[in-house]
Homo-oligomer: A and B are copies of this chain.
């Protein structure tokens, strides 16, 4: 039996212990957004540090301006020649659990319940990201406990501010780059295609997120006395925002599509084979008509085409009843999801110019940028993607899809930009895991597959 075979057998024998360790971690309310939980964040970091130190990692808590980071290293087989160095990234912090009244059990008292697809664990962080990180932590443990070591050098980085936008991470990557040498970053923070169809995510969209505030008159005005004379900030802003996207769903910023490549036919064919049912997808959220660019496939629109959404708008009177006011001010949050070939800075500049050109020159505009991140595309033929596909196929008994995600994982872009590292996005979540919502859950079957897939991948990359 190969070493990998023995490790997989051990996982089966000890599975209850891996699940118990995951659930113990879930009991720590490490909510990074809430200052009252700072000590809990440290406890959750220490939990992971001790876990890794037990396995022979040199493991330390590093202070940052915010929540601490766990950084750990295991040299692997020693000579290291010919085997890749892996950097596992995860986060121990979780989203606030509110609204509490919608939970069916307390968010930090994980429970195992029966669901239509077997057992599931319900708790805040069940999947995001303690559950997903527990899979590769478990795989590392199984390797060490079964074979006395690891077949590849491994660095582990577990941060505590992902849910608040990782404000301290880039400074940390920059300061610790000497300890972060690796050939690939392994990230388990995405979803699989469905519970039976494994997948590697090779695309993430980028994000530009801005706020625009428009001021017309110096003060709110009476709409009777000034209607037909004074410009209305709400009318002006709504008109400018509407002009951003045409009736066919194309974003009208000049140059917006210049660097955007057509999705290769082969890629589209592969996505077609996934059997995506857009009507069913929309039906689950109560819709029948899709948004986005006319004439594009459903998955292409979600994964490979840029978008523009107004995420919020306000202005004038929004209370009960009527107030006949012409608003002096209005504002909106606007975001663009970007695809490879688009530069966030160019999109920001084009947006400002476009909105400015849409409104009269006596209107005052203010802009604030909250996010600016390029899209990510992992080469589909990289050795890591191929190895992950092989590990998944062996585990699931069916080929792994290469999928995209319409969302953004800013840290993936940070690793690429600051350290030049590609990421392997190997996630086991499902669309209905209620991430960030009440009753977050992770299927035990997904956890089990993920734990074993990580063990297989480590063995395969280490030639073991």
Contact = CB atoms under 8 A, between A and B. Distances in A.
Contacts of A323: 311-312, 333
B235 A309 contact: yes
A175 B9 CA distance: 91
A62 B192 CA distance: 74
Interface string A268-304: 0000000000100110011111111100001001100
Interface stretch (A71-79, A127-135, A153-161, A402-410): A402-410
Contacts of A182: none
A170 to B, nearest CB: 17
A318 B331 contact: yes
A313 B237 CA distance: 10
A311 B327 contact: yes
A327 B301 contact: no
Interface stretch (A49-57, A93-101, A117-125, A218-226): A218-226
Given A224-B205, A242-B242, A317-B311, A232 B291 contact: yes
A260 interface: no
A278 B226 CA distance: 11
A114 interface: no
B313 A313 contact: yes
A402 to B, nearest CB: 18
A326 B311 contact: yes
Contact of A291 (B207, B231, B309): B231
Interface string A426-442: 00000000001000000
A278 B337 contact: no
A359 to B, nearest CB: 10
Contact of A226 (B241, B370, B406): B406
B228 A293 contact: yes
A234 interface: yes
Contacts of A217: 285-287
A131 B406 CA distance: 63
Contacts of A228: 291-293, 301-302, 305, 307, 337, 406
A219 B224 CA distance: 37
Contacts of A311: 223, 234, 316-317, 322-327
A360 interface: yes
B224 A405 contact: yes
Interface residues of A, number: 76
A333 B322 contact: yes
Q: Which of A307, A311, A370 has the most CB of B within 10 A?
A: A311
A235 B246 CA distance: 11
A285 B316 contact: no
Interface in A210-249: 216-219, 221-232, 234-235, 238-239, 241-242, 245
Q: Which of A242, A313, A332, A405 has the most CB of B within 10 A?
A: A313
Interface in A319-378: 321-327, 330-333, 335, 337, 360-362, 370-371
A209 interface: yes
A267 B1 CA distance: 101
Contact of A221 (B285, B312, B313, B322): B285
A210 to B, nearest CB: 9
A15 interface: no
A352 to B, nearest CB: 17
A326 B436 CA distance: 15
Contacts of A224: 205, 207, 337, 405-408
A383 B226 CA distance: 31
A222 B429 CA distance: 16
Q: Which of A222, A307, A309 has the most CB of B within 10 A?
A: A309
A315 interface: yes
A404 to B, nearest CB: 11
A210 B264 CA distance: 49
The 3 closest A-B pairs by CB, nearest first: A224-B407, A312-B316, A218-B286
17 contacts: A209-B324, A223-B309, A223-B337, A225-B405, A228-B337, A230-B285, A230-B290, A232-B291, A238-B241, A238-B313, A288-B361, A289-B361, A311-B316, A311-B317, A314-B318, A317-B333, A321-B370
Given A223-B309, A224-B408, A312-B325, 8 more contacts: A207-B324, A209-B322, A238-B241, A238-B310, A289-B360, A311-B324, A316-B333, A318-B331
